[in-house]
Chains A and B, each alone.
Chain A
Amino acid sequence: MKKKSINLILFIILLALPESVYATYDYIDITSPYLRKLPIAVPVFRDMTGSSDEQIFSDAASNLLSETLDFTGYFKIISREAYLEYPREKGITELKLNFRNWTGIGSELLITGGVWVTGDKVKIELRLFDTFKERMILGKLYKGSVSDQRRIIRKFCGEVIYKLTGSQGIFSSKIAFVSTGTGNKEIYTCDFDGFNPRRLTNNKAITLSPAWSSDGKWMAYTSYARGKPHLYIKNIKEKRGTVVAKPGVNITPAWVPGQFSLAATLSFTGDPEIYMLTGTGKIIKRLTHMWGIDVSPTFSPDGKQMAFVSKRSGTPQIYIQNLDTGIARRLTFEGQYNTTPSWSPRGDKIAYSSLNNGQFDVYVIDVSGQNLRGLTENAGDNESPTWSPDGSLIAFSTSREGKSRIYVMTAYGTEQRRLLKLPGEQTNPKWSPKNVDN
């Protein structure tokens, strides 16, 4: 009993201490191209009073934590069959654990959890340990409803990633995409890991190219709801907004980071050109002035440069334009057909799809034009890459299964796996900024 109260006091003190007290180790170097996956163990949480509700919650929550960390691509999850001790029985705090039992099986990190459930309320303690240094590096206490399980686990994952990489995670981000399940192309959204898919539009007509505003509150897209390709700018929650309905096409919206303005291609002059618009659909400025198709803008994180597709040199290629000077330079010189560029939120790379031997593949190139690398190969058509808000993952659409599906991979092209599967075909993914209201 005495030990327990000391533990609790220590725990609370540790929680209360500012972050700077902990030495900051460089656990994961997110800029390294040869990322070693960090071995981590996530044992089943401990049901603190032994009730069956707690057991159920513990099982589910610890599995969810494991899966969510796995999704990031940073970790190698140690199989529970290899464990030499079980925190569920022994205890979840430093003093109860024997770290050699964990380093012995190759685990460099360990997460333990303790769960209390009363009625529909839950209290959960989560601790992240460095097993070699034998110390806790992150401890959190969450209180909420039992139904908040997913939200709690995601919050904790966000803290874990922040502690280990120094970068905000993706756990409260969403992905928008187009799906044909209803018989028409409509826009859907889902959580970053493919859960909770929800249909956003109900146009009963071709709807394409979703684009999130920086604050995650607005969605721009093109729809034939009124018979022609018009650009809709809609507040997601309040369902109000504007329509840009100029003659010709009104397509490929892309918001400027941190601003309530967006670029889009309009062809009312007879040629598709890129314009800058306010969030209420008014033209601020025309950005491209070359004869030929100019389409698919994407902005650098500082909003000062725009990459886009232009046919001005004869074939669709990717260009980068400085918005101050208006001068554009060509980025891609390999391949006859390069489109759907996406600028990494880290600012240094651009992902795009390129026609390669009759099929499309996702490529990544430095903004400087160097280090061109293909991330997909011999796997159907792979198009429309979109970066996660921390620049660590890329979602894209692929026809490798026959019907088009949304897949996710790391920024280096590893761990390619399907995000979700819905009736019909899924295309055109667009990853939201960091935090989107649920």
Chain B
Amino acid sequence: MRKKTVGNLFVLILVCVGLMFVVSCAQTEVQSTSPEDTQAEEAVQEEEIQAEDDDAAAQAALEEEALAREKANARAMFVSENIYFDYDDSSLDDMAREILKQKAEWLNDNPDVSVVIEGHCDERGTTEYNLALGDRRAESTRSYLIDLGIAPSRLEKISYGEEMPAVQGSNEDAWAKNRRAAFTIK
């Protein structure tokens, strides 16, 4: 009778131990798969995130480039576009006012910039009188920009009279192109 119980107990213990192994193996197996799974999931996620970042960066770069080009163009336009005057006249016509309005906009967009307004004349007339006329042209231009709200301290003026023509020639075409106010950035 006693021998059978001990034997039964021993078998029970064996079985339990065996079960424990089974359980722990199973558990280990499960444990071992989840980190891999997680890594694969994370890797995928990383890729996705990167893909999003690349697009955004590329887009932003393109936009920045476009913006820079626009800025350079606007600046070049500001500097290269002159306003023109009638013979022996320093008053602003409608075209001149339009151009000056655009220039005022640009100046508002670029508050750090100060400019020099140059007054020029065609070669006709005497040197002395033309120095004064060039000054009047620079002054009308400057006054109008001030009226449009640009701070006077940002606008310097200078007259060159007939001393620095933009175009050589003794014909109305050349003369018309020389009767101008021009802009340079300080």
Q: Please tell me which one of the listed residues B124, B132, B157, B163 contacts residue A295 in the complex, with CB atoms under 8 A apart.
A: B132
Across the interface, do A252 and B88 meet the contact criterion of CB distance under 8 Å?
no
For the complex formed, measure the closest distance between the CB of B132 and the CB atoms of chain A, giving whole angstroms: 4
Across the interface, do A222 and B126 meet the contact criterion of CB distance under 8 Å?
no
Residue A270 interfacial (CB < 8 Å) = yes
Residue B178 interfacial (CB < 8 Å) = no
B128 contacts across to A, CB distance below 8 A: 208-209, 251-252, 295-296, 309, 339-340
Stretch in B21-29, B49-57, B133-141 touching the partner: B133-141
Q: Please tell me which one of the listed residues B135, B160, B163 contacts residue A272 in the complex, with CB atoms under 8 A apart.
A: B135
User: A209-B127, A383-B126 are contacts. A315–B88 as well, Cβ < 8 Å?
Assistant: yes
Interface string of B115-148 (1 = CB under 8 A from A): 0000000001111110111111001000100000
User: A228-B158, A249-B135, A293-B136 are contacts. A208–B88 as well, Cβ < 8 Å?
Assistant: no
Q: A88 CA to B177 CA in the complex, in Å?
A: 66
User: A229-B158, A337-B88 are contacts. A206–B132 as well, Cβ < 8 Å?
Assistant: no
Q: A311 CA to B163 CA in the complex, in Å?
A: 21
Across the interface, do B125 and A267 meet the contact criterion of CB distance under 8 Å?
no
Q: A174 CA to B1 CA in the complex, in Å?
A: 156
CB closest residue in chain A, given B124: A355
Q: A293 CA to B135 CA in the complex, in Å?
A: 9
Q: Please tell me which one of the listed residues B127, B131, B160 contacts residue A427 in the complex, with CB atoms under 8 A apart.
A: B127
Q: A293 CA to B127 CA in the complex, in Å?
A: 14
CB closest residue in chain B, given A294: B132
Q: A355 CA to B125 CA in the complex, in Å?
A: 8
B163 contacts across to A, CB distance below 8 A: 185, 206
Across the interface, do A337 and B125 meet the contact criterion of CB distance under 8 Å?
yes
Across the interface, do A316 and B159 meet the contact criterion of CB distance under 8 Å?
no
A337 contacts across to B, CB distance below 8 A: 88, 125
Interface string of A212-243 (1 = CB under 8 A from B): 00000000001000011100000000000000
For the complex formed, measure the closest distance between the CB of A145 and the CB atoms of chain B, giving whole angstroms: 41
Across the interface, do A249 and B159 meet the contact criterion of CB distance under 8 Å?
yes
Residue A321 interfacial (CB < 8 Å) = no
A185 contacts across to B, CB distance below 8 A: 163
For the complex formed, measure the closest distance between the CB of B130 and the CB atoms of chain A, giving whole angstroms: 9
CB closest residue in chain A, given B159: A249
Across the interface, do B129 and A339 meet the contact criterion of CB distance under 8 Å?
yes
CB closest residue in chain A, given B129: A339
For the complex formed, measure the closest distance between the CB of A287 and the CB atoms of chain B, giving whole angstroms: 15
Count contacts on A: residues with CB < 8 A to the other chain. 36
Across the interface, do B157 and A293 meet the contact criterion of CB distance under 8 Å?
no
Across the interface, do A353 and B126 meet the contact criterion of CB distance under 8 Å?
yes
Q: A293 CA to B139 CA in the complex, in Å?
A: 12
Residue A39 interfacial (CB < 8 Å) = no
Interface string of A234-273 (1 = CB under 8 A from B): 0000000000000111011000000000000101001110
Across the interface, do B129 and A296 meet the contact criterion of CB distance under 8 Å?
yes
Across the interface, do B126 and A340 meet the contact criterion of CB distance under 8 Å?
yes
Q: A232 CA to B125 CA in the complex, in Å?
A: 24
Residue A72 interfacial (CB < 8 Å) = no
For the complex formed, measure the closest distance between the CB of B1 and the CB atoms of chain A, giving whole angstroms: 127
For the complex formed, measure the closest distance between the CB of B48 and the CB atoms of chain A, giving whole angstroms: 61
Across the interface, do A267 and B139 meet the contact criterion of CB distance under 8 Å?
yes
Q: A293 CA to B9 CA in the complex, in Å?
A: 128
Most interface-central of B129, B133, B139, B157 (chain A CB within 10 A):
B129
B157 contacts across to A, CB distance below 8 A: 247-248
CB closest residue in chain B, given A352: B126
Across the interface, do A272 and B132 meet the contact criterion of CB distance under 8 Å?
yes
Q: A355 CA to B126 CA in the complex, in Å?
A: 10
Across the interface, do A309 and B139 meet the contact criterion of CB distance under 8 Å?
no
CB closest residue in chain A, given B134: A249
Q: A114 CA to B134 CA in the complex, in Å?
A: 59
Q: A251 CA to B24 CA in the complex, in Å?
A: 105
Q: A316 CA to B129 CA in the complex, in Å?
A: 9
Q: A316 CA to B133 CA in the complex, in Å?
A: 11
Q: A185 CA to B88 CA in the complex, in Å?
A: 24
Q: Please tell me which one of the listed residues B124, B129, B143, B160 contacts residue A293 in the complex, with CB atoms under 8 A apart.
A: B129
B129 contacts across to A, CB distance below 8 A: 293, 295-296, 309, 316, 339-340
Across the interface, do B133 and A293 meet the contact criterion of CB distance under 8 Å?
yes
A249 contacts across to B, CB distance below 8 A: 131-132, 134-135, 159
Across the interface, do B136 and A272 meet the contact criterion of CB distance under 8 Å?
yes
24 cross-chain CB contacts under 8 A: A208-B128, A227-B158, A228-B158, A229-B131, A248-B135, A248-B157, A248-B159, A249-B159, A252-B128, A252-B131, A252-B132, A267-B136, A267-B159, A293-B132, A295-B129, A309-B128, A316-B88, A339-B128, A339-B129, A340-B128, A353-B126, A384-B126, A427-B127, A428-B127
Residues of A within 8 A of B (CB): 185, 206, 208-209, 222, 227-229, 247-249, 251-252, 265, 267, 270-272, 293-296, 309, 311, 315-316, 337, 339-340, 353, 355, 360, 383-384, 427-428
Task: Report the 10 A-B pairs with minimum CB-CB distance, sorted nearest first.
Answer: A272-B132, A295-B132, A293-B132, A249-B135, A339-B126, A339-B129, A252-B128, A267-B135, A251-B131, A340-B126
Q: A251-B132, A296-B128 are in contact. List 11 more A-B contacts (CB 8 A).
A: A228-B158, A267-B132, A294-B132, A295-B129, A295-B132, A316-B129, A337-B125, A339-B128, A340-B126, A355-B124, A384-B126
